[in-house]
Amino acid sequence: MTTTWWSHALFYQVYPRSFRDSDGDGVGDLDGVTTKLDYLKALGVDAIWLNPVMVSPMADNGYDVADPRDVDPLFGGIEALDRLTDAAHRLGMKVTMDLVPNHTSSQHPWFQAALAASPGSDQRERYIFRDGSGPGGIHPPNNWVSIFGGPAWTRVVEADGNPGQWYLHLFDAEQPDLNWENPEVFDDLEKTLRFWLERGIDGFRIDVAHGMAKPPGLPDMEVIRAEVLLADMDDDPRFNNEGVHEIHRRIRSVFNDYPDAVAIGEVWVYDNEQFSRYVRDDELHLGFNFRLLRAKFDAVDIRGAIENSMTAAAMADAVPTWTLANHDVDREPTRYGGGPVGQARARAMALVMLALPGAVFIYNGEELGLPNVELPDEALRDPVWERSGHTRRGRDACRVPVPWEGDTPPFGFSDNTDTWLPLPREWAELTVEKQLDDPDSTLAFYRRAIELRHSRPEFSGAVIEWLESPADGLTFRVSGGAVCALNAGARSMVLPEGEVLLASGELVESMSKDVAGVPLGIMVENSVMPAMGNAVGMHLPPAVTDVYHSGLVLPLLVSGLFIAVLGALLPAGWAAKTRTAAALRSE
């Protein structure tokens, strides 16, 4: 496995509409991102991933690209991207962009030309046009459904004014799928790749990287959970077809001319062997692995997700990737139960993720512990809402803009109070400004965890070793060094011995050495763990070995325990504590 800047990088996903608005139109933009680069640097970000900023009518917030080689004026145009890239590079951060090869916008000149041309023409050959089935072609060519809801086919009106062929769109009708069997399609993508890489972009996140190739004859699908956005699609004819690997090999051959650039695929494929094929050494450098994101807050599930992710990457000698959130899924505090419980669980999971070897991706606002926002119907913007006939609310709840400062919405995100999605009043407590002032904030916690990840050598390693752990707990050692312990259960857990480097919540001291399995409220007195220090200082917390030796337990909250601890273990001490843990398990 070759090691490069991205092998252990911390990527930060910027959803440009929602990060920072510099021109007062209520929508975030690239100059807005540039104004916040110092914040990202202080957080410990190695590379930014920008969701699509290319020219787009924004039917799917930029995933409908009308000109792949220019930046939309909404985001400030191409000069704003140059400014951002230059400034990020000066600070030592890389900038990666989103690339959308599966489809274009319906406003793309190619698709407009295809609509104006006749069936069988070269223009139509760039997309997937077919005659309909049934008398007069009134039914779609097959039964595929769109990921966003409704049929995956839309019928066009031909030049003579009559209903004519159908075109395929796995997503919105404004996102026609390209025909990857047409060599012009790759040639154009190559132009796009070289255009941005020459301009100084450090790589791409490749959208729907398990899409693109379609199966011969476009056979019907079994319509089970077909509309669940990016669900398990291993056996779905719409995705993960054999031909996609040849496309990735061709894309990789372009990247090989830019050896420092990284290609990261969005690969919603769950079979380990199938997944590993995307990250072979002549395909993608990295594949997004969504297992951790999909795992329930359950020790067995989480361990399975980690093991499978490591296995799949190892099968191709590739670097594993980790992510808990993105612009398509519910935010973690909400997913893990909401309220203080969800927050505590999200922090614990962040520590687990940040202790794992490989590349980590965090999504803007994750470091603030932002939950989903309950938006009124009239505020919804995601095409999923309309296409599903108002049965699915879509992904807006996780896309609400970042709160920066002040006491009232939009909390410094924009000068305009009419933001593209409204920020809730309650976020006054979650602003960056507030959290920077609070050493116990989620932001302070993320900064410390990331700093540890960067500063300790074991986190540049590639292995983890599972250590014995109580039921409902997970304990692993990272590349022979630090140990991460997670308690995902409803009972207290004795920590392994060693210096606590960081805990995701307050630790408490046991009054008894023999607390196995006993609810905390009865057995322990209150916290003895010193506060974790201000994030700006970024130094290791004082060692708390004494406290640790006296038998720390992880605290019990009403409906479950949710804390992760990162500690540096003394191997000798560990043996003794393993017995304690084993005893816990057997009770």
- Give the interface with ligand GLC as residue ranges (CB under 6 A): 60, 63, 100, 171, 207-208, 230, 266, 327-328
Q: Which residue is nearest to ligand GLC (CB)?
A: 63
Please say if 29 is a catalytic residue. Answer: no
**Least distance from ligand GLC to the Cβ atom of residue 180, Å:** 15
**Least distance from ligand GLC to the Cβ atom of residue 330, Å:** 14
Structure tokens at 385: 């809402």
Q: Which is nearer to ligand GLC, 328 or 396 (CB)?
A: 328
Q: Which is nearer to ligand GLC, 51 or 504 (CB)?
A: 51
- Amino acid letter for position 196: W
Cα–Cα dist 129/339, whole Å: 48
Residue 523 sits at the vertex; the CA angle it makes with 521 and 524, to the nearest 5 degrees, is: 80
**Least distance from ligand GLC to the Cβ atom of residue 548, Å:** 42
Instruction: Give the residue among 353, 286, 198 at the shortest CA–CA distance from 5.
Output: 286
User: CA Rg, the chain, in Å?
Assistant: 25
**Least distance from ligand GLC to the Cβ atom of residue 404, Å:** 24
Query: Could you tell me which residues come within 8 angstroms of residue 90 by beta carbon, excluding any fewer than 6 positions away?
Result: none
Residue position matching structure tokens 């540096």: 568
CB atoms within 10 A of CB 537: 13
Cα–Cα dist 13/26, whole Å: 20
CA dist list (Å): 73 to 3, 128, 207, 565: 37, 30, 22, 45
Phi/psi for 226 (5° steps) reads: -65, -25
**Least distance from ligand GLC to the Cβ atom of residue 454, Å:** 28
**Least distance from ligand GLC to the Cβ atom of residue 192, Å:** 15
**Least distance from ligand GLC to the Cβ atom of residue 472, Å:** 33
Please spell the DSSP secondary structure of 376-387, one letter per residue: -GGG---HHHHH
Our measurement of the distance from residue 309's CA atom to the centroid of its chain's CA atoms, rounded to an integer in Å, reads 15
Instruction: Give the residue among 467, 474, 261 at the shortest CA–CA distance from 351.
Output: 474
Q: Which is nearer to ligand GLC, 328 or 366 (CB)?
A: 328
Q: Give the 3-state DSSP-derived string for 2-34, with helices as H, strands as E and coil as C.
A: CCCCCCCCEEEEECHHHCCCCCCCCCCCHHHHH
Q: Which is nearer to ligand GLC, 65 or 375 (CB)?
A: 65
Q: Which is nearer to ligand GLC, 63 or 385 (CB)?
A: 63
Task: Give the DSSP H/E element, type plus range, for residue 78.
Answer: helix 77-90
What separation, in Å, do the N-terminal and C-terminal C-alpha atoms of the chain show? 43
What is residue 49's three-state secondary structure?
strand
Please say if 386 is a catalytic residue. Answer: no
Residue among 64, 207, 332, 367 flagged as catalytic: 207
Cα–Cα dist 250/341, whole Å: 46
**Least distance from ligand GLC to the Cβ atom of residue 19, Å:** 16
Phi/psi for 215 (5° steps) reads: -75, 150
Instruction: Give the residue among 399, 411, 331 at the shortest CA–CA distance from 51.
Output: 399
**Least distance from ligand GLC to the Cβ atom of residue 213, Å:** 16
- Amino acid letter for position 321: T
Structure tokens at 27: 């929508």
Q: Which is nearer to ligand GLC, 170 or 569 (CB)?
A: 170
Residue among 266, 332, 382, 458 flagged as catalytic: 266
- Amino acid letter for position 146: S
Query: Which residues are identified as catalytic?
Result: 207, 266
